[in-house]
Structure 1
Amino acid sequence: MSNLFKRMTTKRDDSVHSSLHEIDKLADDENTTDFSYVNLSYPEDDVETPPVETIPDVTFDEQTKKNFEPDIELNRLESNRLESNASSDQFNVLNDISDTEQSPYEEVAAVVPNSDDTTLPCLTFRTWFLGLGFTCLLSFINQFFWYRTNPLTIGVLVVQLLSHPVGKLMARILPKKSVKVWKWNLTLNPGPFSIKEHTLITAMANAAWVGIMRRFLVWPSAMIWPSNLVSCALFRTLHETADEKEKEKPSKWKMSRLKFFFIAFGCQFLYYWFPGYIFPLLAAFSWICMIKPKNIVVAQLTGNSGLGIGSIDFDWNAIVAFLSSPIVVPFWAQLNILVGFVTLAWIFTPISYYLNLWGSQALPIVSNKIFTPDGYVYDIHAVLNKETRLNETAYEQYGHIRMTAIFAMSYGVSFAAITAVIVHTILYHGPQIIKQFKTSLSDQSDIHAKLMARYPEAPEWWYSILFVVSFIIAAIVCHVGKLMPWYYLFVAVAISFFFLLPTGIVQAITNQSIGLNVITEFVAGVCMKGNPLGNVTFKTYGYITQYQALL
């Protein structure tokens, strides 16, 4: 575009008019977008170039402006790139962006927009204040409620809901002045509370490994992360305005997303009082037990403390306590879960129990506790000394521990799942992983990866430094607190890092996590025999590290 005008301003007026006339004729054709073949030749007997001010003003019709607009946009972005010292390959991908391009996965295309507003503020005072505040608050609340029979987890949706009105309030009351923090000027109130600020607030955790693994778990379009689609839909509901066409033609059969959200929110608030406080029996309604209330076998197979065959659950918290919301889990993944659960819990467990395998009939049919061989709950304090180490003499006298049939089989399935996820990743995702090692964000074909290529990537050494600092602090805590020998932290972290990619791929596609709790307990038992405190510490750094990285 700039070269075209440069050539035009160095020739005679009549040549300019003739060239523009040719362009105008081409612009009348809606399918014409290429002006490279326009004849801009001039007579050989050209006289000296007239002054620039003698050339008349040039005006373009709307179609011509539309055809030239992508070039103007690319020039503007190129200027921004030079100012930000971003690499050129990050911006070359912009040539391939189309307004009609969408994600190849329809669930993503329906929720995540295919455009980006680069002018919205991101790292503001509101972002840091609310993000760090909610991170600390939720860490305490979730740990407190984790000890319920059905754990109650305060998730990212609650942070989204609470941070939105607080962010709006801060946008109204905070003064519009800047505070200098080292080399940066931090504006207390840069304007309206933006969707990008809101997004960063809800993601103000789980850094380090998740950043290092982003080229495998975030960039590929197949990594859809179903649970994050819910968050994206809520962000758009809270921040985007209604379409103009919907405003002009309202329908009694339609409502805005925000209106629907508040109606659903109010209904859920009123409903939870019944299974939560007024009528707790609704949390696990076993109608078969009510028919035969004194039959032990019926209670074992259908009761709340049994296998729950035929029971109906009206408590949403109980439904989503362990496997997350079924609304966001792909249907084929739910079928796999259902088949696995029925096979393990409703077929193998009754067979093992009533055949008295491992002496299981002396224990409850379902329980996650440990027992004595006589069926009593195991008192672990009876076999520990004052240093919380195992007293082997007392252990032999008190008796060996026993687990219920379903608990023992679940341990076996956990080992099988860990092996299966490695084999599955190698067979089905091995070539893609190798390819991702060699590619950058700008090489991705997904529309959202192309949009993110406009921004400079955070160097991986940032995440590495964050990880190293956290590792050193953890090692100091383990050594000073005498929780476990600090050098075993290398083993725990290595296990977590090794399984992060395969388990992350499965979770990104199915929304189901494969925990490392069993294998970390096993390895810790081998490394630190008779040290239960060291075992749970090892499990924390080996399992919870992987779990938090994939939240």
Structure 2
Amino acid sequence: MAEISESPAGEKGAFEAKDAQSVSGLTKRVVKVESASPSPSEGLERSSSEQPSEDVVYVNGHPVIRNGDDVSNFLISPRDDGDPSLTFRSIFLGSVFTALSSVITMLYIFKPFQIQVSAVFIQLLVFIFGEAWYLLTPSPDRFKWKWVKAILRFLNFGQKFGIKEHVVAALIASSGNNGLSGVEIYAVERLFYNKAVAASTAVLATFSIGLCGFVLAGILRPLIVYPAEMVYWSTLPQVVLYQNLHFDTRQNRDRLIKFAWAVGIAAVWEFFPAYIMPWLGGISLFCLASMNAPSNTRTIMSKIFGGASSNEGLGLLNFSLDWQYIQSVYLSLPFKQQVNTWIGYGIYYVAVLALYFGNAFNAKNFPFMSSSLFQSNGTRFMTTSIMTPAGTIDNNKLAATGLPHITAASVWGYFTQNLAIGGLISHVLIFYRKDMIKAWKQARTRTQPDIHYQGMLKYKEVPMWWYYALFALAFFAGLIVNIKGDTTLPVWGYIVALLLGSFIAPFSCILYGLYGSGIGTNQISKMVAGAVHPGRPLANLYFASWSHQCILLAVNLANWLKIGQYTKVPHRVMFATQVYATLLGAGLNYAVMTTIVTNQRDILLDPLGNSIWSGSFIQSLNAQAITWALAKDMYSRDGPYLIVPLGIVIGLLLPVMHWAAIKVFPRLEKWPLNTALIAQYAGYVVFGTTSWIWSSIAVGVFSQFWLRRRVPRIYNKYNYLIGAALDGGAQIVIFILSFAVYGASGTAHPFPTWWGNPDGNPDHCK
């Protein structure tokens, strides 16, 4: 019979900050059982030399996953079979699926229906083809000639498809879009500025934009990869799926069968909300109840409760059953992260409604939610009306036309993004400073206690000079582009962009590693670019790309380095394949972009587009660049939106206030609050669909609040695996529907109109 006793919390590891504490006092309860360690058949192996910390929580003999140490010790196996990773098969499959993911991603930038190829979808495709390669090719041992055996072994014929090959191939395929930002700029130049970017400029700029961020991740990996607390929670479904597909498949047969069933059920179900009955994508009892109400009442109800259509409303208590919007991320993000998002959503509902109905920023002159620019009378603002042929702002035309305006919801979104950026910097410095220093010292002495880090010590590290050499090449490539190319971005502006990205990247990586989600930092890049390069929208695009890509790619590389640490892929293989994939994908993206823009130029410039092609995404990029090129007029002391840049200053103070409150009320230290995340989610969805918000909350409560704490056996065994299955099943069907009925192949075939697929908003709000 289990003995329940009170035990003091053990010493926290690096980065296990105060806000990582669990709720309800569970961190202090230890259930002592005769055999607390789960069996290897459940995929929860632990190193024999690694003892669980004193504050581990057990329920019926199964550990509750609460922090990075628990993930390392109980969820992710430290097993390393020493199988090869860099093989002909892994490179070939990775390259083929890089082409697939890159081409589809670029194709959908110019489509009215934009989708992203999910990492789990690519992971499953690579596994199917890797297993087929193993099962359908002859073994080299069947041949007597040595040269034939050597060739077939090189081609991996008849050889088992291992986990490391799988990771490398999926890594290559998923990293093919790292240079996408640069290619998008070239599309804007071709469409709106009639500039055909020279091939040399495109190659050098893409190389520079795509690889600068890698250097930051490499330098910072002792802080953002090695420690156990740097989990990168949103990728746990991938890691668990890798290990279940390759480790002890006989013992894991039960889980794999359930995985297959979940994929099938998710795929069949997705046809209904995505095509046959879109009402399932936004179920609102309030919208249904108001169907016969007066028009004015229905309009107000739609703004508050509607959310199934883009820019319809806030989606309060509107539930979606469409998994393509929910996704497994809410099954994997830690409870501490989701609590902060829920608080943020609560603020979001109050603030956006108050701004609109209070007519702040003349809100009622414009749509309730929209990302477009407007004139003061509410008509759409045409950016071409204030541009010179050279692509800069014509001040005379601007004076005649007037400044563009944005919706109150967009103002709130921009403001909260800046709040979050300021809060990100302060929160990391205040709450994680000591742990950062400790993690760095542990890395230098190779004493980081995480079992997965220790398991990687046998592999040669990437020398720092590799990263420095890569940065030098990327830096000089960008320097040449801005000196010789027609970017309108001066060299000093290019250097400022890199410095800004390099400053923000460490903070963003730390938060992402700890919480599984980061802070949107693209806006600060555009804001600074507008301040230092007024009237130059093209310079704004290039500045933001170099600056923000430093941050984004540092996070991406750190994320994959962590997957490599969990799956024991050698460091140098991870480095080389990331660089290879980025360059390969950028070349493919550029070729596809050039072809589409050249052949479909007229329709892409049309604000409406058609059912096959649309330039709305590229138009939006250009509109944002123009808006921030007017930063001194729109966001200065005399501008209408001064509150937006002030958000950074206010955001810097939020964690300080949080820290001061803890000093006054020590009990607050047990609450997993993060003011940067709260601010981020207080303005997270100020346009687009919102019906998924309450579904994500329900999934998070079920998974992280109830299942993880009350039934850890089921949580540890199935939570991440089934989440990956649901993602895969939904993504497969969305991919099929996109080409079969959504119009990606040329002709759309909409489902007939009926009550579950109405002409108007799917949730029956006005």
1:444 aligned onto 2:408: no
Partner of 2:552: 547
**Taking structure 2 as the reference length, what is the TM-score of the superposition?**
0.53
Answer whether contact 1:484 1:538 (CA < 8 A) is retained: no
Paired letter, 2:438: K
Instruction: Compare 149-158 and 422-431 and name the one that shifted more.
Output: 149-158
Where do residues 286-301 of structure 1 align in structure 2 (5 Å cutoff)?
286-293=284-291, 294=295, 295-301=298-304
Answer whether contact 2:488 2:538 (CA < 8 A) is retained: yes
1:114 aligned onto 2:121: no
1:98 aligned onto 2:62: no
1:217 aligned onto 2:224: yes
CA shift for structure 1 position 223? 0.5
Where do residues 266-281 of structure 1 align in structure 2 (5 Å cutoff)?
266-281=264-279
Partner of 2:118: 155
Partner of 1:67: none
CA shift for structure 1 position 545? 3.2
Taking the aligned partners of 1:135 and 1:469, their CA distance within structure 2 comes to 24
Taking the aligned partners of 1:502 and 1:533, their CA distance within structure 2 comes to 28
Taking the aligned partners of 1:186 and 1:358, their CA distance within structure 2 comes to 68
Paired letter, 2:525: T
Taking the aligned partners of 2:74 and 2:109, their CA distance within structure 1 comes to 34
State the percentage of identical aligned residues: 27
Instruction: Compare 519-528 and 197-206 and name the one that shifted more.
Output: 197-206
Paired letter, 1:123: L
Answer whether contact 2:94 2:170 (CA < 8 A) is retained: yes
CA shift for structure 1 position 437? 3.4
Answer whether contact 2:489 2:543 (CA < 8 A) is retained: no
Taking the aligned partners of 1:262 and 1:232, their CA distance within structure 2 comes to 17
Q: Pick from 473, 484, 487: which aligns with 1:483?
A: 487
Q: Provide the secondary structure at the position in 1 that maps to 2:545.
A: helix
Q: 1:515 to 1:265 in 2, by over 3 A?
A: same
Partner of 2:337: 333
Taking the aligned partners of 1:423 and 1:366, their CA distance within structure 2 comes to 31
Q: Pick from 197, 202, 207: which aligns with 2:170?
A: 202
Paired letter, 2:69: Y
Taking the aligned partners of 1:419 and 1:510, their CA distance within structure 2 comes to 17
Partner of 2:254: 256
Partner of 1:164: 127
CA shift for structure 1 position 284? 2.6
Q: 1:166 to 1:484 in 2, by over 3 A?
A: farther
1:284 aligned onto 2:282: yes
CA shift for structure 1 position 173? 3.0
Paired letter, 1:129: F
Answer whether contact 2:216 2:550 (CA < 8 A) is retained: no
CA shift for structure 1 position 262? 0.8
Paired letter, 2:440: F
Where do residues 88-487 of structure 1 align in structure 2 (5 Å cutoff)?
98-101=48-51, 105-118=69-82, 120-145=83-108, 152-171=115-134, 172-173=136-137, 187-189=154-156, 191-204=159-172, 205=175, 207-242=214-249, 256-293=254-291, 294=295, 295-304=298-307, 305-320=312-327, 325-344=329-348, 346-438=349-441, 439-440=443-444, 442-479=446-483, 481-485=485-489, 487=491
Paired letter, 1:397: A
CA shift for structure 1 position 508? 0.8
Taking the aligned partners of 2:369 and 2:379, their CA distance within structure 1 comes to 14
Q: 1:150 to 1:430 in 2, by over 3 A?
A: farther
Q: How big is each residue's C-alpha offset from its partner over 1:49-107, in whole Å with a ceiling of 9 and x where there is no partner?
A: xxxxxxxxxxxxxxxxxxxxxxxxxxxxxxxxxxxxxxxxxxxxxxxx73554696323
Partner of 1:85: none
Answer whether contact 1:174 1:188 (CA < 8 A) is retained: no
Paired letter, 2:458: R
Paired letter, 1:131: G
Answer whether contact 1:525 1:535 (CA < 8 A) is retained: yes
Paired letter, 1:98: S
Answer whether contact 2:304 2:314 (CA < 8 A) is retained: yes
CA shift for structure 1 position 385? 1.7
Q: How big is each residue's C-alpha offset from its partner over 1:363-399, in whole Å with a ceiling of 9 and x where there is no partner?
A: 1122222211111121111111212211111112112
Taking the aligned partners of 2:314 and 2:247, their CA distance within structure 1 comes to 46
Q: Provide the secondary structure at the position in 1 that maps to 2:98.
A: helix
1:528 aligned onto 2:537: no
Answer whether contact 2:356 2:408 (CA < 8 A) is retained: yes
Partner of 2:198: none
Taking the aligned partners of 1:496 and 1:140, their CA distance within structure 2 comes to 28
Q: How big is each residue's C-alpha offset from its partner over 1:472-496, in whole Å with a ceiling of 9 and x where there is no partner?
A: 3344445555223252222222222
Q: How big is each residue's C-alpha offset from its partner over 1:109-140, in whole Å with a ceiling of 9 and x where there is no partner?
A: 3431123222x111111222222333343233
CA shift for structure 1 position 270? 0.8
**Taking structure 1 as the reference length, what is the TM-score of the superposition?**
0.73
Answer whether contact 1:124 1:186 (CA < 8 A) is retained: no
Taking the aligned partners of 1:150 and 1:403, their CA distance within structure 2 comes to 24
Taking the aligned partners of 1:141 and 1:109, their CA distance within structure 2 comes to 38
Q: Provide the secondary structure at the position in 2 that maps to 1:418.
A: helix
Q: 1:420 to 1:343 in 2, by over 3 A?
A: same
Taking the aligned partners of 1:319 and 1:231, their CA distance within structure 2 comes to 17
CA shift for structure 1 position 350? 1.2
Q: 1:545 to 1:226 in 2, by over 3 A?
A: same
Paired letter, 1:291: A
- For structure 2, the residue ranges without an aligned partner over 5 or more in a row are 1-46, 54-67, 141-145, 179-213, 557-766
Taking the aligned partners of 2:445 and 2:112, their CA distance within structure 1 comes to 44
Paired letter, 1:133: V
Paired letter, 1:193: F
CA shift for structure 1 position 155? 2.3
Q: How big is each residue's C-alpha offset from its partner over 1:296-339, in whole Å with a ceiling of 9 and x where there is no partner?
A: 2112212231122221212222335xxx7211111221121111
Q: How big is each residue's C-alpha offset from its partner over 1:245-301, in whole Å with a ceiling of 9 and x where there is no partner?
A: x8xxxxxxxx61211111111111111111111122332333322332422211221
Where do residues 489-528 of structure 1 align in structure 2 (5 Å cutoff)?
489-528=494-533
Taking the aligned partners of 1:426 and 1:150, their CA distance within structure 2 comes to 41
- For structure 1, the residue ranges without an aligned partner over 5 or more in a row are 1-96, 180-184, 247-254
Taking the aligned partners of 2:234 and 2:69, their CA distance within structure 1 comes to 15
Answer whether contact 1:516 1:542 (CA < 8 A) is retained: no
CA shift for structure 1 position 357? 1.1
Taking the aligned partners of 2:445 and 2:320, their CA distance within structure 1 comes to 45
Paired letter, 1:466: L
Taking the aligned partners of 1:340 and 1:496, their CA distance within structure 2 comes to 26
Q: 1:490 to 1:413 in 2, by over 3 A?
A: same
Answer whether contact 1:227 1:511 (CA < 8 A) is retained: yes
Paired letter, 1:312: F
CA shift for structure 1 position 243? 5.7
Answer whether contact 1:484 1:533 (CA < 8 A) is retained: yes
Taking the aligned partners of 2:114 and 2:422, their CA distance within structure 1 comes to 28
Taking the aligned partners of 1:114 and 1:441, their CA distance within structure 2 comes to 21
Taking the aligned partners of 1:473 and 1:285, their CA distance within structure 2 comes to 51
Taking the aligned partners of 2:286 and 2:385, their CA distance within structure 1 comes to 40
Bigger relative CO (Cα 8 Å, ≥ 6 apart): 2
Pair member with larger Rg: 1
Q: 1:221 to 1:425 in 2, by over 3 A?
A: same
